[in-house]
């Protein structure tokens, strides 16, 4: 696949800043290295994790959500068609 | 800040389990209690026994656990969770009863109740969270503190000639005849967390099959009282605690 072509987003995560305490365990767990600690402080005083993922690298492996002690991460994966291929 | 188009047709493959409430926990960033709570909640959801389960909360950092679990919970006096759970299970044998205890609660003040309940083979599950320190009171030396580990009451490191050796609860209880399932797991990485969930599920299945006592010891990081970052804490756990507290199943009967 050519690098110029914008990759279709397969999966994404949603980090709830209400729960996130910025421990950074998801940053280490992510095999794609796309999670970072935000520079914007939350109302509870933590720097939360963020996943901007501009290159659509997220595969939906859920490792970040599984190591999160505060269950702040939800993972979404693109629906599959009947043929087993992603839409 | 959120730039991702949310109109994509996507399936939610990971979400907060129903057995957890929407409350934010009071635990420090990187604390292992949150993962342990989530694993129990996921197991209760998967087994479909959320409405038929009663938990017994300990004294310690997880004393407010009843705010975070969307199930019925009791609060026991310090260390007496197995005794309270025994009474509850005997009064209502149709319900699933579990204790959630830390090392200060289970291995220090509550060791008598723990051994007695295990020896009687009470049909309860015990989730034992071992972080090698007294978390809530400020990081004092616990019965499970490693030799050489610095705490606020062992500033030179735990000296075995004066303070003895850490108690291996899982190995100790596995020689009794009462327990039917004893395992030690860790919540320090995704790989170990997956195995921890399997062990917790087995422990609850033992009770559902009416076999007897089950205990899962969960090695958990305590970044605040170990004076480390969350990343350093999980590394310290894997480098120092895993050699002394080997993971695995120590007693498996019936499942």
Q: Looking at the 3D structure of chain B, how many domains does it have?
A: 1
- The size of chain B, in residues, is 255
Which among A10, A14, A25 is the top mutation candidate for probing chain B, defined by the most B β-carbons within 10 Å of its own β-carbon? A25
Does residue B5 belong to any structural domain of this protein? no
- Tell me which chain A residues have a C-beta less than 8 angstroms from the C-beta of B12: 74-76
Indicate the DSSP class of residue B211: -
Are B166 and B217 a contacting pair, CB within 8 Å?
Answer: no
Range of the domain at B114: 33-252
d(CA B127, CA B106): 10
**10 Å Cβ neighbour count for B91?**
9
Residue A1: the pLDDT is 47
Question: Does position A2 have pLDDT exceeding 50, yes or no?
Answer: no
Does residue B25 belong to any structural domain of this protein? no
Least confident of A3-12, A21-30, B40-49, B184-193: A3-12
d(CA B111, CA B131): 16
- In a 10 Å sphere around its CB, with 0-12 CB exposed, 13-18 middle and 19+ buried, how is residue A69 labelled? buried
Does residue B184 belong to any structural domain of this protein? yes
Query: Which tens digits make up the pLDDT trace of B104-156?
Result: 999 999 999 999 999 999 999 999 999 999 999 999 999 999 999 999 999 99
Ramachandran class of B151: left when φ > 0, alpha when ψ lies in -120 to 50, beta otherwise: beta
Model pTM score: 0.93
Q: Report the CATH number that the domain containing residue B147 is assigned in CATH.
A: 3.40.50.970
- CATH class assigned to A13-77: alpha beta
* Spans of chain B below 70 pLDDT: 1-8
CB distance B14–A65 less than 8 Å?
yes
Strand order in the sheet with B96-102: B72-75, B53-57, B96-102, B125-130, B213-219, B179-186, B248-252
* ipTM exceeds 0.90, yes or no: no
Residue B1: the pLDDT is 45
CB distance B194–A66 less than 8 Å?
yes
Which of A63, A69, A79 shows the shortest C-beta gap to B34? Answer: A69
Does residue B18 belong to any structural domain of this protein? no
Domain ranges of chain A: 13-77
Segment B160-167 long-range contacts (CB within 8 Å, at least 24 positions apart): B166/B132, B166/B244, B167/B107, B167/B111, B167/B143
**10 Å Cβ neighbour count for B193?**
22
**10 Å Cβ neighbour count for B181?**
26
Does residue B21 belong to any structural domain of this protein? no
Which of B1, B24, B234 shows the shortest C-beta gap to A19? Answer: B24
Helices (H) and strands (E) in chain A, counts: 2, 4
Are B30 and B185 a contacting pair, CB within 8 Å?
Answer: no
Does residue B110 belong to any structural domain of this protein? yes
Does residue B139 belong to any structural domain of this protein? yes
Q: Identify any residues that bridge with B129 across adjacent strands, giving them in sequence order.
A: B102, B218
C-alpha A40: how far from chain center:
17
Residue A3: the pLDDT is 52
Residue A9: the pLDDT is 86
CB distance B8–A46 less than 8 Å?
no
| Residue A23 forms contact with B (CB below 8 Å) | yes
């Amino acid at each position: 696949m050519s690098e110029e072509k914008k990759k279709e987003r397969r999966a994404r995560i949603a980090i709830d800043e209400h729960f996130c305490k910025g421990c950074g365990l998801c940053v280490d767990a992510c095999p794609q290295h796309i999670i970072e600690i935000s520079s914007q402080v939350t109302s509870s005083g933590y720097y939360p994790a963020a996943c901007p993922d501009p290159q659509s690298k997220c595969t939906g492996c859920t490792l970040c959500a599984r190591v999160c002690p505060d269950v702040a991460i939800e993972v979404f994966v693109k629906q599959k068609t009947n043929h087993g291929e992603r839409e | 800040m959120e730039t991702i188009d949310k109109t994509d047709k996507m399936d939610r493959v990971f979400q907060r389990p129903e057995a957890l409430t929407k409350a934010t926990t009071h635990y420090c960033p990187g604390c292992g209690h949150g993962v342990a709570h989530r694993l129990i909640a996921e197991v209760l959801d998967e087994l479909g026994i959320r409405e038929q389960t009663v938990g017994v909360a300990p004294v310690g950092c997880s004393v407010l656990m009843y705010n975070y679990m969307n199930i019925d919970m009791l609060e026991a006096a310090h260390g007496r969770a197995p005794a309270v759970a025994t009474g509850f299970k005997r009064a209502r044998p149709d319900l699933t009863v579990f204790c959630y205890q830390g090392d200060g609660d289970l291995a220090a003040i509550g060791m008598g109740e723990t051994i007695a309940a295990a020896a009687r083979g009470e049909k309860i599950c015990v989730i034992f969270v071992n972080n090698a320190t007294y978390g809530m009171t400020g990081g004092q030396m616990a019965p499970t503190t490693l030799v050489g580990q610095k705490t606020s009451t062992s500033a030179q490191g735990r000296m075995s000639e004066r303070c003895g050796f850490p108690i291996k609860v899982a190995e100790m209880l596995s020689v009794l005849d009462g327990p039917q399932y004893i395992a030690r797991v860790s919540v320090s990485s995704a790989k170990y967390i997956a195995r921890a969930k399997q062990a917790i599920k087995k422990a609850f299945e033992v009770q559902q099959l009416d076999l007897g006592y089950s205990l899962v010891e969960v090695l958990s990081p305590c970044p605040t009282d170990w004076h480390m970052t969350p990343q350093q804490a999980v590394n310290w756990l894997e480098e120092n605690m895993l050699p002394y507290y080997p993971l695995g199943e120590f007693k498996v009967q019936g499942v």
